[in-house]
Amino acid sequence: MKKEELFSLFNIEDLKDLPSAVMSLLDGNIDARDEVYKELIRKNNGDMSYDWFQEIYETELSERKQKKQDFTPHVLGVLCSELTIQSGSIHEPTAGNGSMIIADWWERCRKKMPWEHFPSQNMVTCWELSARSIPILLLNLSIRGMMGYVYHGDVLTKEVKQKYILLNRKDDPLAFSEIIKANINDEIIQKNEID
């Protein structure tokens, strides 16, 4: 995807504003979000098999020196998917923009007819530390109708800044997922009551 297309679609003038523009879209009206999703799909010729943002993110937005961010080549994501079981849940402890998950999702979907793939049977759990990556990760997963959880936090310390629930109410791989912000304070209280 070209920078100019992103500038126009997300109404930004600087690529560094992309994560906050994406998050504003995700937090806003769901009908407006869905229209942008449809336009993204159209601009990418309906090819959902890869992370459309990876190249731009890698060259323009990554924090490689500060946070040691690195990116998984698409072919490695496909290879990992081929080496693992093709059903059940997926756990990605350093999700970034979601390229590994997208590769696995695509490999699972392409081996079945659309009505045979149920997002609820292929749940994802992702952790990501970077505030810049979280909005794009959420977009990438929800535009593909995935279900599961995204934790904005540190997988090593289990410190969670925000938890998101991806919900595909239709359980349809061709539908978009809702993104629900979970109240992590309630979960901390409930966990402490159990301990």
**In the beta sheet, which residues pair with residue 191?**
none
Vertex 163, ends 174 and 114: CA angle to 5°? 15
Provide the whole-model pTM. 0.85
pLDDT tens sequence across 95-104: 889 988 998 8
Q: In the chain, how many domains are there?
A: 1
Listed range (8-17, 43-52, 65-74) with the worst mean pLDDT: 65-74
pLDDT tens sequence across 62-80: 555 665 556 666 565 555 5
Cβ neighbour number for residue 39 with a 10 Å cutoff = 13
Mean pLDDT score of the chain, rounded to an integer? 84
What is the layout of strands, in order, in the sheet containing 148-154? 90-92, 124-128, 148-154, 159-167, 178-182
Could you tell me the residue range of the domain that residue 73 belongs to? 3-194
pLDDT at residue 192, as a whole number: 45
pLDDT tens sequence across 145-159: 999 999 999 999 999
**In the beta sheet, which residues pair with residue 164?**
150, 181
Q: Distance between CA 185 and CA 163 in Å, rounded?
A: 10
pLDDT at residue 129, as a whole number: 92
Which is more confidently placed, 123 or 73?
123
